[in-house]
Amino acid sequence: MAHVTLVDPASADASVKPTLDQINGAFGVLPNMFKAVANSPAALVSMWGAFGALGSGKLGARLGEEIAVAVANANACEYCLAAHTALGKKAGASGDEMADAQVGRSADPRTQAALTFALKVVRDRAAVTQSDVAALKAAGFDDEGVVEIIAHVALNLFTNYVNVALDVPVDFPGVRLKQAA
């Protein structure tokens, strides 16, 4: 049971109703995470705006979802792991590719570089080195890509923390956490 009220969109306050309606329109349902975050209009607008901005970013939906499952697994966030695995498959990744990304692996060198960097940002609390950034650039990322990977990590830390701290019930097909290699 969630530690906060899951806001019912039918009776939602006018300060969150339009955003909840947008989210419902995008997903076809209103995921529980957004119902929990709707307790704060500012947090809801911030989260939804970040998803929209990064969703149309340079990295593309699939890589964004692969980063998301790696970060979710590292933070033991079952909600985000389930949601982003489903979204990653919708973005064109296979189940095996999402399972590999979950533990920071990819057969694609560019994706591997992004996952390695993203997990280092999480694990080392952003204390990356010049050589870490150089490895990303050698894999084909420019400065925009480097910053966008960090933005994906930050957004996913926010969603992981919301879902874990508030014990938001998972409403996507469940995915088991894995021990990272």
Q: Mind listing the pLDDT tens digit for each residue in 83-101?
A: 999 999 999 999 999 999 9
> Cα separation of 35 and 14, whole Å?
14
List all residues 6 or more positions away from 49 whose beta carbon is below 8 Å from its beta carbon: none
- The range of the structural domain enclosing residue 113 comes to 61-165
- Do 50 and 68 lie in one domain? The reply is no
Residues 117 and 43 in one domain: no
Q: Do 92 and 161 have their domain in common?
A: yes
> What are the DSSP calls for 92-154, one per residue?
T--HHHHHHHHTT--SSHHHHHHHHHHHHHHHTTT---HHHHHHHHHTT--HHHHHHHHHHHH
Question: Does 28 reside within a domain?
Answer: yes
Confirm whether pTM is higher than 0.95: yes
The C-alpha atoms of residue 120 and residue 180 are separated, in whole angstroms, by: 13
CA distances from 48 to 3, 24, 42, 102 (A): 21, 11, 10, 23
Judgement on whether residues 69 and 142 belong to the same structural domain of the protein: yes
Q: Do 65 and 122 belong together in one domain?
A: yes
Cα–Cα distance for residue pair 64/69, rounded to 1 Å: 9
- The verdict on 36 and 117 lying in the same domain is no
Is residue 167 pLDDT above 70, yes or no? yes
Gap between the Cα atoms of 60 and 62, Å rounded: 6
- Evaluate if residue 77 carries a pLDDT over 80: yes
Same domain, 40 and 72: no
Asked if 20 and 108 sit in the same domain, the reply is no
pLDDT at 82 over 90: yes
Query: Which DSSP category does 91 fall into?
Result: T
Regarding whether 101 and 48 lie in a shared domain, the answer is no
